[in-house]
Amino acid sequence: MAQFEEVSQKSKLHPKPEGLTLQYGTAGFRTHAKHLDHIMFRMGLLATLRSKKTKSTIGVMVTASHNPEEDNGVKLIDPMGEMVTAMWEGYATQLANAEQDSLLKELKDIIEKEDINMSEPASVYVGKDTRPSSASLSQAVLDGVSSLGGKTHDYGLVTTPQLHYMVCCCNTHGCYGSPTVEGYYQKLSQAFLQLTQNALNRTDDQKRLLVDGANGIGALKMREMEPFLRSEMQVVLSNDGSSGKLNHMCGADYVKVQQKAPQGMNMGVGERCCSFDGDADRIVYYYTDSKGCFHLLDGDKIATLISTYLKELLLLFRHMFQFMLKLVTVCCTKTGVKHLHHAAQEYDIGVYFEANGHGTVLFSKAAQKQIQELVKDPNSNDERKRAVKLLESTINLINQTVGDAISDMLVIEAVLAIRGMSAQDWDAIYTDLPNRQLKVTVSDRRVIDTTDAERRAVSPEGLQDTIDSLVKKYKSARSFVRPSGTEDVVRVYAEADTQESADSLAHEVSLAVYRLAGGIGDEPKPLH
């Protein structure tokens, strides 16, 4: 077939380094950018097949999120803006690791297994972040799509959540919104402005927010969005990419792990501050108190703020909503947004956030339909009319396709404004136990296997017993370990009654991981 001939010819321009093996993980492929050219070409091929199979537009995002600037990566986006289905993750790994001379065989194998009609048209949306390597790597994706006769729309520089949004808009034929960057800004800003009308007498100080853009795409897009927000939000942007390096000593991951402010941000006492990650799909908030103590408001705090806000609104309609019977249910899943997203889809309203600040809110079709009916209800009293308009605008402000730092930031700002809360008030909803997150480099992360939503280690033998005995030494303590989804490291989490104890427990568990799970490099050192 002529189309396979073109694949064969073009693939020679994107050759696979012999012997290189990569796996499509929690966040797609990620590694040093120099190893990714062939991966990008092949993900262009796979996205084209996925488009033909689903008869929908598919997205391909070139980014390595919170990784260092020299890395890059790629994520595939399914028709409703969600992450690509697990079966096709396997195909991605299969295609990526095929040696050059067996690429066509692997491609035909997927076509046969999925019974793909190759005469179907294909449409692929492509976006990229601000990394120096992203331009050439996104071109490799475009080459892959065109070699199988697919049509592309190259969005250029966009945040990861913006591309998820575009894909969903396209496949819902505009019902979700307009598939343009300006359409995204208009939808979110309009909803934000409608919500903040309900916050009376806001001062300029209350509208002011310090934003750390991680020297990434989020900073660029925040600048573009500012005019749409008019005077209702005053953004003070630092780490905007004009001088610093992407994710270096800044960004959501740095702030979460180091539990301190990013470089380049001048924080006043009690001022609300937030940090995006490199591709703007995560956000964390923070502030310093009058004693100079740093307070982190992470994904858990964000989930609590949004959940309590929605609960207050919904309680006004408990006699109407069938789903009010189960107002709050807590569900635990394996780490990874795709697991949380699927779990949240089981509920009428699902609020999910990882502690790292990656998350969103999902509203079922039934819940959205009931809310729309209430908007039109002529018998509602003023209090209910106000509450249902708040719900409607909140739904429009939330990017339901994936965690979105810009959308989440606007939701948080609107909720704080409506409830008249400061960062300190928000922080006081509950008190976190002191905790510490560390990582241990290992030769192969797959030696760690977990169960019970990754709260217990099954292998290597003896590791969980060691963790259990270490935890018993401290008060109010817990500790979990899990392999990273993107690199050969094991993540260690520990909490206890004091910061000193949490730090000590985290170090001892890190040592156990290093010794029992094939740690490489120097042994973990005590934090103090």
Catalytic residues: 65
Task: Yes or no: say if 283 and 411 are a contact pair by the CB < 8 Å rule.
Answer: no
Alpha-carbon span 358 to 277, nearest angstrom: 10
Q: Which segments are annotated as binding site?
A: 65, 277, 279, 281, 354-356, 482-486, 491
Q: Which segments are annotated as binding site for substrate?
A: 354-356, 482-486, 491
Q: Facing residues of 288 across strands?
A: 294
Q: Facing residues of 23 across strands?
A: none
Token reading at 89: 């993750």
- Residue 192's closest CA among 386, 396, 401, 422? 396
Bond from prior residue into 161 cis (ω within 30 degrees of 0): no
Contacts of 115 (CB under 8 A, 6+ apart): none
Q: Facing residues of 441 across strands?
A: 489
Alpha-carbon span 105 to 107, nearest angstrom: 5
Alpha-carbon span 477 to 470, nearest angstrom: 9
Q: Coil, helix or strand for 439?
A: strand
The per-residue DSSP string of 44-61 comes to HHHHHHHHHHHTSEEEEE
**Run of H or E residues at 238:** strand 234-238
Task: Yes or no: say if 438 and 482 are a contact pair by the CB < 8 Å rule.
Answer: no
Strand pairing category for 123-128 and 57-62: parallel
Give first-to-last CA distance, the chain, whole Å.
65
Task: Yes or no: say if 274 and 210 are a contact pair by the CB < 8 Å rule.
Answer: yes
Token reading at 458: 């099954």
* Amino acid identity for residue 102 in this structure: S
Task: Yes or no: say if 217 and 279 are a contact pair by the CB < 8 Å rule.
Answer: yes
Q: Facing residues of 296 across strands?
A: 286
The per-residue DSSP string of 441-477 comes to EBS-GGG-EEETTTTEEEESTTHHHHHHHHHTTSTT-
For the chain, the C-alpha Rg in angstroms (whole number) is 24
Task: Yes or no: say if 275 and 284 are a contact pair by the CB < 8 Å rule.
Answer: yes
Q: Facing residues of 491 across strands?
A: 439, 482
Q: Which segments are annotated as binding site for Mg(2+)?
A: 65, 277, 279, 281
Q: Which long-range contacts (CB under 8 A, 24 or more apart) does 290-296 make?
A: 294/259, 294/260, 294/261, 295/423, 295/424, 295/427, 296/255, 296/256, 296/259
